[in-house]
Amino acid sequence: MPPQLPKGNPSMTSDVTNHMPQSNDVPSPVRFFGVDAAAFDAQMVSWNLPKFRAGQIRDWVYDKLVSIPARMSNLSRRDQEGLARHVAFETSAIASHQHSNDGTQKLLLTWEASAEGKRPAAGANAETVMIPDGDRRTACVSSQVGCPVGCKFCASGINGVKGNLTADQIVEQVYRFNQILHPRGERITNIVFMGMGEPLANYANLMQAIRVLHDPQCFNIGARKITVSTVGVPSKMRELAHEELPLNLAISLHAPNEPLRKQLIPWAEHFALDDILDAARYYFDKTGREITLEYILLAGVNDQPDHARQLVKLCRTLRANVNLIRYNEVAGLPFGRPRGDDVLRFQEILRDGAVNAHVRKSRGRDIDAACGQLRREKLGEQAGEVIAASGNVSLPVVS
């Protein structure tokens, strides 16, 4: 359900039309990217504006990529001014914008604190990546500031989690890339929630963001082109199965057995692997969507033939395919990138065991495209430290 929206000035009478409330008693601006079309239509009506005005605004924002009310030429000056006062569009600043030689782009977005105190602290930031592949433009989106999972090999959780991103902040990451791609006649076609944070730990905001991204009158991105990646939160995986959206579910596995997984992923102490796999089977049964297992190969840690054989046994217990991702080193962490021969041998063992396994291309290796790298570098600069930025991103592009 969309969040409850602020109402107009109660002193307004029903015969007043075509303008927004002029007083300042609206408690907070409507976060445009946090509400779907129906909710925004209702807000316009509550402000005694005709319903079609909401459609005009969406046309400017989503089709023309114009989010400054003063440039919405088919709105009256009074309505433009009211919209600027009572509706918030972009609320972030682009702190960094990086371009890779392979076309990958990465943004570091920064948000200020809100008056309500419900949003991340002032200066909180999160990363988002755009990966081109043929006609597809995939956005890798963050759901939190930092990450609570603390995977031992990942830069995102090194400084812990600082807060949840709200639905509009999640959606705004996609909109920012649409603005960048617009001059070339392109826009984001696919979404993967594989950026900073554990999406299912921010479930309400995640689902509201997905509804806006999926809404035909907003971003109009098909549910089958949206992937939610989780380290494994069984109760939320089951809840996701009942959302009546054929979303793709990916599990960040990274180990074929419980002991090794607990060494690599601290959150594994809270959620047993058997429970996660059972929830994955439940998701497949309810949605018919095959599960993807994400498996980062760490040199000498989880990339040996015995690990591959264990993974084959695990995969036989559910309908799943496997994405093998070659690790790129993160400065200060004791993990290495696997040898090419070891990666191919691992894949061969999986395929010999009838497991659909793909080695994902590494993208953005010449920029800080690995999750959390750019944010970590910027935090280091602010603290007067020098933090090397290495790493890459390797993400599935969902058809």
- Catalytic residue numbers read 127, 371
Largest CA distance in the chain: 75
**Quick one: tokens of 124?**
């909180």
Q: What sign has the CA pseudo-torsion 54, 4, 117, 48?
A: positive
**Quick one: tokens of 287?**
């949605």
CB atoms within 10 A of CB 250: 24
Burial of residue 45 (CB within 10 Å: 0-12, 13-18, 19+) is middle
Rounded CA-CA distance 151/155 in Å is 8
- DSSP element (H, E) containing 169: helix 167-181
Q: Is-contact 338 303, C-beta < 8 A?
A: yes
**Quick one: tokens of 200?**
């299912």
Residue 132 vs residues 72, 281, 349, 354: alpha-carbon distances, Å: 31, 31, 30, 30
Closest CA to 277 of 248, 309, 234, 326: 234
Q: Where are the beta strands (DSSP E) in the chain?
A: 30-31, 87-88, 92-99, 105-111, 124-133, 136-140, 144-146, 161-164, 190-193, 226-230, 248-252, 291-297, 320-326, 357-359
In single-letter form, the type of residue at position 226 comes to I
Rounded CA-CA distance 66/51 in Å is 20
